[in-house]
Amino acid sequence: MSKLKKKYCILTNDVELTSLVNHNLNLQTADKVYDQGMRSLLKLYKKYGVKSTFFYTADIAIYNNDIVKMILEDGHEVASHGWVHESDQAFDVLSLEDQIDHLKKSKEVLEQISGQEVISFRAPALRINEDTNTALTENGFLVDSSVSPQRLDMFLSFGGLKKLSWVFAPRLPYLSDSKKLWKKGKGSIYEIPISAFGIPYIGTLLRITPILTRLTRYLLHFENKFNHKPIVFLTHPNEFINEEKTAEKIKKRTKNPIKYFIGDVLRHKVKLKNLGDDAIPLYEKEIAFFHKKGYEFITCKEYYKLSLKN
């Protein structure tokens, strides 16, 4: 396995029940994600000849099979985003047995709906621990994309302090250690890290601060000239929906009042910027840039297979 020399851009989409406006998980959001978010993204991808990876939680796939089936025709990849997105069932709090169970069920559901073999995984909220690698391996997964090297989140993302291990994670895709996905080693899981340059290259940041994201994009493109690191962008179809606010209060995910204010209240307010229709032109600029620079847009699975050949 060695580094690929061409310019690759891997656009990834996490498909889940999360309502950004209401700060909860619900099925009305799933309807919007299907009707608006997914359709807008697929249209955009078609325009630029993009093949991308969609990580689904099993609950949204079960609720509406078509949300999975709608991507198949254009050659996108169906991948797993776990069983559910509830924070009390994140992979870094589940036992090894439960992690194995969630992955097994999620893989089965997605393969049954799509008819595709599911080999790629991204943990909900990117929360993983030292058992996740074992759970993935046991279920025949081959690719993970839950690590974001040199991304400094701290309190801004949930489980942020645990993600300090990311600071030293390798920048280029690598075969991970048999326990720690954020370390290189001799395990069987190939890690395709999400791009970051201090700040992550993701839809949330693109909407909050398009200027900083543009700077990150230039830096990543510049870096690619030297080390051929693929550009890996993370977004969610729920960022491209116009939603009504129906919930009154921001749901508490922690008992710590400071964490609640920073991690839930403040973060919630900031995350609402440029949602829905406004997000599309912003995202299109990112795609158009790499398209113009001659990058090839491929899926995680395709990148993994190419890395085996090289």
Q: Is 200 in the site for Zn ion (CB under 5 A)?
A: no
Q: Is 59 in the site for Zn ion (CB under 5 A)?
A: no
Q: Is 82 in the site for Zn ion (CB under 5 A)?
A: no
The three-class DSSP label of residue 14 is: strand
DSSP per-residue string spanning 49-89: T---EEEE-HHHHHH-THHHHTTGGGTPEEEE--S---GGG
Question: Measured between alpha carbons, how far is 270 from 290 in angstroms, rounded to an integer?
Answer: 27
| Under 8 Å between Cβ of 62 and 26 | no
Return the range that interacts with Zn ion (CB under 5 A); candidates 9-17, 145-153, 172-180, 196-204: 9-17
Where do we find the tokens 């990058």?
A: 295
Residue nearest to Zn ion (CB): 14
Q: Is 239 in the site for Zn ion (CB under 5 A)?
A: no
Return the range that interacts with Zn ion (CB under 5 A); candidates 6-14, 58-66, 68-76, 137-145: 6-14
Q: Is 187 in the site for Zn ion (CB under 5 A)?
A: no
SS (HEC) of 141-161: CCEECCCCCCECCHHHCCCHH
Return the range that interacts with Zn ion (CB under 5 A); candidates 23-31, 116-124, 243-251, 286-294: 116-124
Q: Is 237 in the site for Zn ion (CB under 5 A)?
A: no
Answer for which of 124, 203, 230, 237 binds Zn ion (CB under 5 A) is: 124
φ, ψ at 153 (rounded to 5°) = -95, -45
Q: Which is nearer to Zn ion, 191 or 296 (CB)?
A: 191
Per DSSP, 105 falls in state H
**For the chain, how many residues are written?**
310
CB of 85 to Zn ion, least distance (A): 6
Where along the sequence are the contacts to Zn ion (CB under 5 A)? Answer: 14, 16, 124
